[in-house]
């Protein structure tokens, strides 16, 4: 029988979708919670989506029906938009996006629309930057813990490598100069040429923002090694508390000779809750990078229909001002609710001030202080408690026992229920032991729903 | 903007290479157009763009549809419509949209082939689909065989970031540029000689730039060839809806079905709505593969190039309207045929022959008799005259890797009838002048 061979890229596992981490996803999809039709189902707390402010956008759409209908001042622009496939992007959209990016950063910096490259989501932006900055086999340094999707996005088709910058709970997972140097040495030992550092700020999965000090040492480091710095700022519009978000753009605006090595990634998927629309962007003052990335964006452009709609939305200052404030407020409320709910169960979190999740400390619930112990605890939380949360090991965290728990992708009632379930679990004393307890939720209810399917649905990993 | 006067942090080879192709001499034509674009009212002496394979002849049908169905482009009155759509980023794609794409592809082939929506992988345009398939089917350093002349964009789309090479399968005007078994064998042997592993053959059917649908017997030969060599076949069918007589198009899907799906693991089809529906801005492409592993890998890889859920939703609604799609396909074909007839007649009056064609948005015209010398240089010199004197941006055959000098691709569907008339007048005048020069 002929074996139709595919490429090495197609056959490898770097896309990461065979990992045990996706078990939680699969279980959720087999048995998703619904307050009415499936109240004992699994609650999805592994999905970093922002569902808190749709009403604001919906109301804007109702009051401004023209952009979605391809209209402007009564004229139909359908054919112009349908034909518009210039990879430089719709000028009105880039202007609106640049304006919005400035507003998100408190207008402490201004962005030039001509330095923006539009891409189909930040997933595409990050990969494109790798193609532009690294050869196959070269490396980027990333602080741990980091977004699991980076293993696919940065490495899969590019052939680039990731070398971790180890961060620890001892100092709140802050990036330190010794950690940077150690990572660089690790790369050297592995004979990997380092081309840059990539940070996510605000951080996924930590939910914290980089301090000015961290930003400064990062910039000093990349200058001293003559490498690039990518700042993935897709959560910039979700900052809801002090100390506040400082963009790399702000941190470098008064420094000379560094802008050519700094590249920012943005997206509308998190702030505005529009992941389906595939709107990402690279911002760089390096002309060569903008030029190469622009051409590469041919492989992943934003629909002109979507650009047109969002140009209208984002250029409406009244809307963006109101949205940013309200979004902050609601995120903070929801975040505080989760933190308080966890606190009452005796579970702490890293102090976060941004993003759509908490970095939760469940080390004290581990049977053993190992990743095996973490997996055991995680499986219990998925199967017994019915919560899909993300284990720290999937984020390459060095210490077992940390979990990322999302709070913005569900209603208040669902969050309350999730906390109740967790409380029952912790109170039952079942964590850290294998014995069933009388207070535990009946296993049978779950087991009847776990009908093994012939084919599992794999699913794109979410941030 | 920083030009790198400071320490130049190096970029990658890929970023600095020329494989994107945009430094090639052919961009001079684009530049001439950009600097001096024709406009009937404001710039009647400007350059007419005839190098852009866009379909602008049927927009009125789409606009009428939107006018009669204002709900198609919105999210309705309920609150769940918008948020559900805005959140939908599943790389399987909207089920309804995949379903409609499958049906639309069947309609184009008038039911002669069936398409399973579960085998469709959506990508942001055919550009992305072709690159994705190349990443999946070939390793860096391997090659794909492509019959010449071919779409210039393939040099970038298939090679740039993938590191895969293209070996041309040379076709000649002696048989209307049809692919022959001999040409396929020659290309394969050439690759072997260069110690390059051949992973597949890529056909564009109907052909760009030829404007012809590939004959059934040629497709059969091609399928036998790829089977014998145990390589893949990619059939880029993005112009399938533009065959003037729908029964003149044979899709590789029909051949696969006629063979009872035997050994079809190697067959993959690329489609797009950019040409048939004239919607290149919306970035809607698709891969259809008979190979489960390719479908799985392509789906995962499509994360880098998903179609906007807003666009998927609107087009699902539009394509679901069978009355609309039937009428559109029929009317579009008629209009394209009329345009084609009009331009070939006009060219004939100017003393220019075209390859007989039955599809696409362009003609393949033969200006070899005008060349001072039958070389690429001779062709480029003639082309420069056409761009700068006749003020027409057309595509020289050498940009399509044609092995014979003097052929040019001329688009006819991206302009109004009036503009086409102006272009034909200019060509006629140009030919008169050239003839006069030659006679001197």
Distance from CA of B306 to the nearest CA of A (A): 7
pLDDT given for residue B11 in this prediction = 85
Ranges of chain A whose pLDDT falls below 70: 1-4, 13-21, 431-463
Contact A68 B15 (CB under 8 A): no
User: Is A234 assigned a catalytic role?
Assistant: yes
Distance from CA of A442 to the nearest CA of B (A): 33
Contact A57 B86 (CB under 8 A): yes
pLDDT given for residue B249 in this prediction = 96
CA angle B389, B148, B153 (to 5 degrees): 65
User: Is A232 assigned a catalytic role?
Assistant: yes
Distance from CA of A226 to the nearest CA of B (A): 6
pLDDT given for residue B78 in this prediction = 56
Contact A275 B89 (CB under 8 A): yes
Return the closest-CA partner of residue A405 out of A12, A24, A16.
A24
Q: Provide CB contacts within 8 A for B325, sequence distance 6+.
A: B104, B107, B319
Give per-residue pLDDT as tens, B73-113. Answer: 888 765 569 999 999 999 999 999 999 999 999 999 999 99
pLDDT given for residue B344 in this prediction = 97
Cβ contacts of B314 on chain A, cutoff 8 Å: 305
pLDDT given for residue B246 in this prediction = 83
Per the listing, tokens 């060219």 go with B347
Contact B54 A83 (CB under 8 A): yes
* Three-class secondary structure of residue A404 per DSSP: strand
Cβ contacts of A6 on chain B, cutoff 8 Å: 136-137, 293-294, 297
Nearest CA in chain B to A269: B87
pLDDT given for residue B437 in this prediction = 86
* Three-class secondary structure of residue B11 per DSSP: coil
Contact B296 A65 (CB under 8 A): no
Which of B128, B226, B308, B310 should one mutate to test binding to chain A, selecting the residue with the greatest count of A CBs within 10 A? B308
Nearest CA in chain A to B291: A4
Residue B41, judged by CB atoms within 10 A of its CB (0-12, 13-18, 19+), counts as exposed
Asked if A17 reaches chain B (Cβ–Cβ under 8 Å), the answer is yes
Instruction: Give me the tens of pLDDT residue by residue for chain B, a chain 440 residues long.
Output: 434 434 467 788 888 887 777 777 777 888 899 999 999 999 999 999 999 999 999 999 999 999 999 889 888 765 569 999 999 999 999 999 999 999 999 999 999 999 999 999 999 999 999 999 999 999 999 999 999 999 999 999 999 999 999 999 999 999 999 999 999 999 999 999 999 999 999 999 999 999 999 999 999 999 999 999 999 999 999 999 999 998 899 999 999 999 999 999 999 999 999 999 999 999 999 999 999 999 999 999 999 999 999 999 999 999 999 999 999 999 999 999 999 999 999 999 999 999 999 999 999 999 999 999 999 999 999 999 999 999 999 999 999 999 999 999 999 999 999 999 999 999 999 999 998 988 87
Helix axes B309-320, A304-314, angle to 10 degrees: 130
Which of A1, A6, A125, A229 should one mutate to test binding to chain B, selecting the residue with the greatest count of B CBs within 10 A? A6
Contact A49 B310 (CB under 8 A): no
CA distance A46 to A419: 15
Contact A82 B300 (CB under 8 A): no
Which of A66, A154, A298, A312 should one mutate to test binding to chain B, selecting the residue with the greatest count of B CBs within 10 A? A298
Give per-residue pLDDT as tens, B13-26. Answer: 888 887 777 777 77
Q: Report the relative pairing of strands A348-349 and A357-361 from DSSP bridges.
A: antiparallel
pLDDT given for residue A446 in this prediction = 40
CA distance A355 to A311: 24
Would you name the residues of B annotated as active-site residues? 151, 236, 238, 275
B214 in the Ramachandran plot: left (φ > 0), alpha (ψ -120 to 50) or beta?
beta
Element (H, E) at B34: helix B27-35
pLDDT given for residue A440 in this prediction = 42
Choose the closest CB to B305 out of A65, A69, A124: A124
CB atoms near residue A72 (< 10 Å): 14
Average pLDDT, chain B: 94
Nearest CA in chain B to A124: B304
Catalytic residue among A147, A235, A308, A323: A147
Instruction: Check residue A384 and report its DSSP letter.
Output: I
Q: CA separation (Å) from A68 to A304, A316, B380?
A: 11, 15, 45
Distance from CA of A299 to the nearest CA of B (A): 5
Q: Report the relative pairing of strands B407-411 and B395-396 from DSSP bridges.
A: antiparallel
Torsion, CA A97, CA A98, CA A103, CA A107, rounded to 10: 180
Cα-to-chain-centroid distance, residue B161: 20
Residue pair A125/A301 in contact by the 8 Å Cβ criterion: no
Buried b (16+ CB within 10 A) or exposed e, A147-163: bbbbbbbbbbbbbbbbb
Q: Which of residues 398-437 of A touch B (CB under 8 A)?
A: none
Cβ contacts of B75 on chain A, cutoff 8 Å: 61, 68
Q: Which two tokens stand for residue B290?
A: 């008979």
Element (H, E) at A297: none
CA distance A128 to A309: 25
Q: CA separation (Å) from A64 to A72, A235, A314?
A: 10, 27, 12
Distance from CA of B318 to the nearest CA of A (A): 14
CB atoms near residue B195 (< 10 Å): 7
Nearest CA in chain B to A5: B137
């Amino acid at each position: 029988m002929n074996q139709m061979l595919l490429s090495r890229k197609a056959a490898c596992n770097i896309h990461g979708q065979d990992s045990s981490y996706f078990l939680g996803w699969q279980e959720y999809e087999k048995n998703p919670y619904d307050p009415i039709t499936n109240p004992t189902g699994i609650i999805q707390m592994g999905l970093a989506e922002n569902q808190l402010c749709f009403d604001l956008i919906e109301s804007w759409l109702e009051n401004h029906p023209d952009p979605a209908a391809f209209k402007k001042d009564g004229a139909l622009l359908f054919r112009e938009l349908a034909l518009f496939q210039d990879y430089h992007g719709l000028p009105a959209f880039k202007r609106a996006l640049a304006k919005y990016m400035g507003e998100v950063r408190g207008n402490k910096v201004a962005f030039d629309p001509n330095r923006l490259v539009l891409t189909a989501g930040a997933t595409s932006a990050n990969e494109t930057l790798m193609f532009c900055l690294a050869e196959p086999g070269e490396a980027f340094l990333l602080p741990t813990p980091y977004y699991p999707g980076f293993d696919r996005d940065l490495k899969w088709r590019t052939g680039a490598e990731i070398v971790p910058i180890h961060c620890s709970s001892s100092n709140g997972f802050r990036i330190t100069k010794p950690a940077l140097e150690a990572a660089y040495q690790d790369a050297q030992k592995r004979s990997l040429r380092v081309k840059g550092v990539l940070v996510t700020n605000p951080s996924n999965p930590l939910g914290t923002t980089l301090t000015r000090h961290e930003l400064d040492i990062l910039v000093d480091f990349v200058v001293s090694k003559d490498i690039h710095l990518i700042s993935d700022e897709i959560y910039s519009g979700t900052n809801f508390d002090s100390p506040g978000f400082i963009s790399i753009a702000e941190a470098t605006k008064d420094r000379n000779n560094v802008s050519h090595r700094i590249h920012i990634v943005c997206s509308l998927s998190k702030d505005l809750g529009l992941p389906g629309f595939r709107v990402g962007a690279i911002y760089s003052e390096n002309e060569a990078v903008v030029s190469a990335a622009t051409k590469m964006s041919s492989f992943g452009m934003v629909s002109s229909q979507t650009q047109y709609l969002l140009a209208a939305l984002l250029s409406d200052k009244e809307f963006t001002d109101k949205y940013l404030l309200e979004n902050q407020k609601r995120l903070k409320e929801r975040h505080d609710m989760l933190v308080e709910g966890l606190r009452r169960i005796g579970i702490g979190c890293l102090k976060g001030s941004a993003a759509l999740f908490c970095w939760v400390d469940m080390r004290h619930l581990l049977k053993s202080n190992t990743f095996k112990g973490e997996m055991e605890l995680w499986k219990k939380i998925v199967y017994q408690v019915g919560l899909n949360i993300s284990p720290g090991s999937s984020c390459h965290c060095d210490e077992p026992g940390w979990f990322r728990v999302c709070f913005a992708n569900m209603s208040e009632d669902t969050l309350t229920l999730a906390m109740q379930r967790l409380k029952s679990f912790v109170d039952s004393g079942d964590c850290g032991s294998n014995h069933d307890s009388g207070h535990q939720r009946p296993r049978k209810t779950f087991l009847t729903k776990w009908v093994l399917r012939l084919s599992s649905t794999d699913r794109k990993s979410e941030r | 903007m920083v030009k790198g006067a400071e320490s130049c942090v190096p970029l990658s080879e890929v970023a600095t290479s020329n494989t994107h192709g945009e430094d090639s001499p052919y961009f001079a034509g684009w530049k001439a157009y950009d600097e001096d674009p024709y406009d009937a009212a404001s710039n009647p002496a400007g350059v007419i763009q005839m190098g852009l394979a866009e379909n602008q002849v049927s927009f009125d049908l789409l606009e009428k549809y939107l006018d009669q169905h204002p709900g198609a482009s919105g999210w309705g009155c309920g609150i769940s419509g918008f948020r559900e759509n805005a959140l939908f980023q599943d790389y399987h794609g909207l089920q309804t949209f995949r379903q409609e794409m499958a049906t639309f592809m069947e309609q184009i082939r008038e039911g002669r082939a069936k398409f399973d929506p579960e085998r469709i992988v959506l990508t942001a345009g055919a550009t992305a689909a072709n690159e994705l398939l190349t990443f999946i089917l070939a390793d860096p350093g391997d090659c794909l065989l492509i019959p010449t002349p071919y779409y210039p964009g393939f040099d970038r789309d298939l090679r740039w970031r993938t590191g895969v090479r293209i070996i041309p399968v040379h076709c000649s005007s002696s048989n209307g540029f049809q692919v022959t078994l001999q040409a396929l064998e020659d290309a394969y042997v050439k690759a072997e000689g260069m110690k390059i592993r051949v992973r597949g053959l890529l056909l564009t059917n109907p052909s760009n730039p030829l404007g012809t649908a590939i004959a059934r017997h040629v497709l059969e030969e091609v399928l036998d060839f790829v089977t014998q060599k145990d390589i893949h076949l990619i059939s880029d069918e993005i112009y399938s809806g533009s065959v003037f007589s729908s029964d003149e198009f044979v899709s590789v899907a029909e051949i696969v079905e006629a063979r009872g799906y035997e050994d079809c693991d190697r067959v993959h089809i690329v489609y797009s709505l950019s040409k048939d529906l004239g919607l290149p801005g919306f970035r809607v492409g698709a891969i259809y593969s008979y190979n489960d592993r390719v479908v799985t890998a392509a789906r995962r890889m499509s994360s880098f190039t998903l179609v906007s859920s807003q666009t998927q939703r609107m087009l699902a609604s539009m394509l679901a309207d069978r009355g609309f799609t039937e009428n559109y396909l029929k009317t579009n074909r008629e209009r394209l045929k009329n345009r084609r007839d009009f331009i070939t007649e006009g060219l004939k009056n100017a003393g220019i022959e075209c390859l007989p064609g039955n599809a696409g948005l362009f003609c393949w015209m033969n200006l070899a008799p005008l060349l001072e010398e039958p070389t690429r240089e001779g062709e480029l010199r003639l082309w420069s005259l056409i761009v700068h004197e006749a003020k027409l941006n057309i595509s020289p055959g050498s940009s399509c890797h044609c092995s014979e000098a003097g052929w040019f691709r001329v688009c006819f569907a991206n302009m109004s009838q009036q503009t086409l008339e102006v272009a034909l007048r200019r060509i006629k005048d140009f030919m008169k002048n050239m003839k006069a020069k030659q006679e001197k």
